[in-house]
Structure 1
Amino acid sequence: MIKNLHVLVIGGGAAGLTAAIAAGRNGAKVTIIEKLDRVGKKILATGNGRCNFTNINMDLKFFHGENVRFAQGILQSFDVEQTISFFEYLGIAHKIEEGGKVFPMSDQAASVLDVLRYEIEELDIKEQCNSEVVSIQAKDKGFKLILKDKQTIEGDKVILTTGGKASPQLGSDGNGYLLAKSLGHRVIETIPALVQLKLKAPFLKALKGVKFIGEAAIIGEESILRKEAGEILFTDYGISGPPILQLSRKAAEGLKNKKKLYIQLDMFPHLQWEELLEMLQIRLGYQPQKALDFSFIGLLNKRLIPVVLKEAGIKNPQKKCETISIDEIEKIVDQLKQWRIEIVDTQSWRNAQTTAGGLDVEDIDAKTMESKLIPGLYFAGEIVDIDGDCGGFNLQWAWSSGYIAGEAATLL
């Protein structure tokens, strides 16, 4: 390590805090420059406040980007086992839940931030909050940062971990891209990911708050682009829930390319089409004098019934079950198994959990996260064109890329 090395970390999120700790452990003097009034605010919002900090089923298939293979070496260099050990040493006992999701035993994201900040204090790392960097100047030796208030900070190495554009209220507003571009770095166009979808349908207000366990697929040009299962939630603007968030990147990508896309819902994924048809025929035959809409009570959410029947083309939902034709029953089955609704947009950056797109990895060293254009400049986390699915994958990328960048910045 260079003697008296000063590392400047711009951005105090998951990647920035990990980078600072890695550099501090290697003996560097470290300063974290954070725009908000305190570091780690976005960590507090992860995992619905519980911080799903990694996933034991780590695999490159859960990540995305123009060149997703770039992430492989970094994820292996500081892997899930090392991440769990890193936090175990800091005091985070962990537990594994459905889908391999790893949470702190305390079920509190605040626990994760607390132990990271304790380690930062122990390493005598300086936190400079309420400080926004507006310019990075590369000098013959080291860097000079210019802040919004005209203050300047000088250091030997810079690690840029300002995040992407998702959740700007938590500090990431895309400013890091401007800083990187000013130094010659290219940016892959950014789109919101892990975000709710807006739909084109007249019945959304009537279904607001209705949940069901089912399957959702993104349909484009009659082909299924991706499919996910779990709890799905109707909203007054469209649709939400974990499966929808997983699908949202594909939707945002398609919409950016002006493609017509649909969400296709299957409310009975455990039944084949023919099985559901047979079940409905038997159900409607139990009490042939009963009104059709009332015959679905106990099978579907009450608010779903009139909407499903109307969308299936049933003009009189109160007519008796005995008057229903096989053709009408088949249309209802189609509606329950293949309900298509046009996607018109995603929710805003404010609602997005992560950013798809970002700094082109072709300009970044895949082993050290160092810029190939500016020696001594490093990147980590969401600012880079690597993003993951729900389930702890984005945080793992933050920890891995942050730790590797922090270590590499302290080496000759």
Structure 2
Amino acid sequence: MESKRKILIIGGGAAGLIAAIAAARNGGEVTILERMNRVGKKILATGNGRCNLTNTNTNIKRFHGNNPKFAFGALGQFDVQQTMDFFEFLGVKCKVEDEGKVYPYSDQASSVLDVMRYELEKLEVKEYCEVEVIKIKKVKDAFQVILSDGKTLKGDKVILATGGKASPKLGSNGSGYQLAEDLGHKINPVFPALIQLKLKANYLKQIKGVKFIGQAAISVGGNTLRVEGGEILWTDYGISGPPILQLSRSASEMLEKQKKPLVHVDMFPQLTSEELEEILQLRLAYQPERSLDFSFVGLINKKLIPVVLKEAGIQQISKPAREVGSKEIKKIVAQLKDWRAEITDTQAWDHAQVTAGGVDVGDIDPKTMESKLVSGLYIVGELLDIDGDCGGFNLQWAWSSGFIAGDHASVGM
């Protein structure tokens, strides 16, 4: 009787766990090697603890990297509906919320991990936690996986699912890049994405904590790279909020290239500059004896008023409204519609939701996730130079790439 194919999965995150389930369902003898004290820690943190499983608006435009079209291969074989069906079968009823975001009905990320672990246990998948892989060797048609304690495990196939560098406290410390590089793979520059931005500005402490619905853009050298709208938050280090997280990849990439990106904030995206100018003229004309700064109470957050006026070049912010000329009004409008600040950095990797860059996909088969350089080696998830927007797209990439890797690694038993 033919023995089961031994499949070693390095990394017990989303991609590694679904790869293990797919491989074990095909009859593989599967072992997960996890550096942390338990698998799936990052899953528990996704979607603010609710687990944004996927997004019904998934398409290739929501993915990035040197060759984002590479993602077609996995996403086409294990798509959003198949992902939802997969979890429904395990017991997680899915619901679709705003902007196509999919969550479990339980609103608990732990339920996603619980049903996956139950399935792994049922399929007799072995889990070894608090073990660190330091080297992978290909010897003839088999692999030797060497651990930090000197032990060696042998397998027929290896799936590398260690994640990137984002949220290292949850398990992703970037160790997978060295493992892949040692096996001949090229690593494209990595940088944090879906992360808050640090700004060069002396007013940040004055306005920290102020939230508003607006629009933000990133530019370099006068060219706008991307525009996003939604709730924006000023912080003591810079700027945050969902639109900023979406924009952060572009900013982070430019910083990686030693360029100087700017953030542009529009506090009134629903109004043209002309419409806003007319509103301000009327406000000032209604009560001309009021001070200029008090004239903005009820229009913008009070903390913002002195900063906006000073950034607009107005020195006497408390002068009577009647003394404000049309040129000054235009400057205030420009400040409110295009508040600019230089981006100096991102927050640390601990704050990043995902890693951009990684293993060059040119050396990976997009239909199977198998390495073109080392047969029997599969590389999946965040480790690859593919990353998605905020909103469930990165988890979908993990599910898709992990599932097809596990499926293909275990065929022909």
Q: Is the 8 A contact 1:8 1:157 kept in 2?
A: yes
Q: State the partner residue of 1:369.
A: 369
Q: Which residue of 2 is the match for residue 97 of structure 1?
A: 97
Q: How does 1:150-169 map to 2 (within 5 A)?
A: 150-169=150-169
Check conservation: 1:26, 1:407, Cα contact below 8 A: yes
SS in 2 for 1:69: helix
Which residue is 1:259 aligned to? 259
2:127 match: 127
* 1:366-398 deviations in Å (ceiling 9; x for gaps): 110001111111011000000000010000000
Report the Cα distance in structure 1 between the residues aligned to 2:105 and 2:331, rounded to whole angstroms.
48
For residue 323 of structure 1, what is the amino acid of its counterpart?
Answer: E
Matched with 1:144 is 144
Counterpart amino acid of residue 90 in structure 1: L
Report the Cα distance in structure 1 between the residues aligned to 2:157 and 2:260, rounded to whole angstroms.
Answer: 46
Report how far residue 2 of structure 1 moved.
6.8
Could you say what secondary structure the match of 2:213 adopts? strand
* Aligned partner letter, 2:189: E
Whole-Å Cα distance in 2 between the matches of residues 257 and 30 of structure 1?
41
Q: Corresponding residue for 1:404?
A: 404
Letter in 2 for 1:292: L
Distance 2:127 2:285 in 1: 70
Give the letter for the 1:142 counterpart.
A
Partner Cα distance (1:320, 1:107) in 2: 53
Which residue does 1:240 correspond to in 2?
240
Q: CA deviation at 1:106?
A: 1.1
Tell me the number of residue pairs that the alignment of Structure 1 and Structure 2 aligns.
412
Q: How does 1:183-222 map to 2 (within 5 A)?
A: 183-222=183-222
**1:351 is matched by which residue type in structure 2?**
H
Separation of aligned partners in 1, 2:73 and 2:267: 40
- 1:278 is matched with 278
* Contact 1:52–1:102 (8 Å) recurs in 2: yes
Cα distance in 2 between the residues matched to 1:76 and 1:141:
30
- SS of match in other structure, 1:120: helix
| Secondary structure in 2 matching 1:213 | strand
Range that drifts further, 390-399 or 316-325:
316-325
SS in 2 for 1:145: strand
Q: CA RMSD in A?
A: 1.0
Tell me, in whole angstroms, the C-alpha distance in 1 between the residues paired with 2:87 and 2:301: 43
Q: What is the rounded CA distance, in whole Å, between the counterparts of 1:281 and 1:94 in structure 2?
A: 51
- Note the 1:32-181 alignment, pairs <5 A: 32-181=32-181
CA distance in 2, matches of 1:95, 1:316: 54
Deviations 1:83-136 (A, max 9, x none): 000000111111111111111111111111111111111111111000000011
The 1-side partners of 2:233 and 2:110 are apart by 27
Matches within 5 A, 1:206-355: 206-355=206-355
**What's the CA shift for 1:3?**
3.7
Provide the C-alpha distance between the structure 1 equivalents of 2:171 and 2:2, rounded to a whole number of angstroms.
32
Task: Name the CA distance, whole Å, in 1 between partners of 2:317 and 2:291.
Answer: 7
- Is the 1:230–1:243 Cα contact (8 Å) retained in structure 2? yes
1:286-332 CA-to-partner distances (Å, cap 9, x unmatched) read 11111111111111111011100110111111111111101111100
Q: Where does 1:371-386 land on structure 2 (aligned, <5 Å)? A: 371-386=371-386
TM-score, length basis structure 2: 0.98
Q: Secondary structure at the match of 1:231?
A: strand
Q: What letter is aligned with 1:12?
A: G
Work out the CA distance in 2 between the residues paired with 1:257 and 1:383: 21
User: 1-side partners of 2:212 and 2:244: how far apart?
Assistant: 13
Give the residue type in structure 2 aligned to 1:55.
N
Q: What is aligned with 2:394? A: 394
The Cα shift of 1:411 comes to: 1.5
Structure 1 CA distance for aligned equivalents of residues 248 and 218 of structure 2: 9
Give yes or no for contact 1:2–1:411 (8 Å, CA) kept in 2: no
Letter of the 1:288 partner, please give it. P
User: Please, which moves more after superposition, 136-145 or 242-251?
Assistant: 136-145
Q: Which of structure 1's runs of 4+ aligned residues deviate more than 3 A?
A: none
Return the alpha-carbon distance in structure 2 between the equivalents of residues 107 and 143 of structure 1.
Answer: 40
Counterpart Cα distance in 2 of 1:19 and 1:354:
20
1:2 and 1:410 in contact (8 A); partners too: no
Question: Where does structure 2 lack aligned partners over 5 or more consecutive residues?
Answer: none
Query: 1 CA distance for matches of 2:301 and 2:4?
Result: 66
Q: Name structure 1 gaps, 5 residues minimum.
A: none
1:117-176 alpha-carbon deviations (Å, 9 max, x no partner): 111111111110000000111111311111111121111110000001111111111100
How far off its partner does 1:205 sit?
1.0
Separation (CA, whole Å) in 2 of partners of 1:375 and 1:342: 46
Deviation by residue 1:28-84 (Cα, 9 ceiling, x = unmatched): 111000000000000111111111110001110000011111111210100000000
Amino acid of the residue matched to residue 21 of structure 2? I
C-alpha separation in 2, matches of 1:45 and 1:210 = 25
**Distance between the aligned counterparts of 1:252 and 1:206, measured in 2?**
25
Tell me, in whole angstroms, the C-alpha distance in 2 between the residues paired with 1:130 and 1:54: 29
Give the TM-score of the pair, scaled to structure 1: 0.99
Q: In structure 2, what is the Cα distance between the partners aligned to 1:221 and 1:25?
A: 52
SS in 2 for 1:57: coil
Hey, what does 1:25 align to over in structure 2? 25
CA contact (8 A) 1:188 1:360 kept: yes
Contact 1:232 1:241 in 2 (8 A): yes
Cα distance in 2 for partners of 1:61, 1:372 equals 26
